[in-house]
Amino acid sequence: MEKIKQQAIDLLNKCEVLTLASIDERGCPRPVVLSKIKTEGIDTIWFSTGTSSEKTKDFIKNPKAGVAFYEGHDSVTLTGTIEVVSDVEEKKALWVDWFYEHFPKGVDDPEYCILKFTAEQATYWIGNQFIKGKV
Per-residue model confidence (pLDDT) at position 84: 97
Neighbours of 96 (CB within 10 A): 10
pLDDT band at 1 (very low <50, low <70, confident <90, very high): confident
What is the tens place of the pLDDT at every residue in 86-110? 899 999 999 999 999 999 999 999 9
Residues 51, 17: Cα–Cα separation, whole Å? 20
Per-state percent for the chain, helix, strand, coil, to nearest 5? 25, 50, 25
Per-residue model confidence (pLDDT) at position 86: 85
What is the tens place of the pLDDT at every residue in 31-90? 999 999 999 999 999 999 999 999 999 999 999 999 999 999 999 999 999 999 989 999
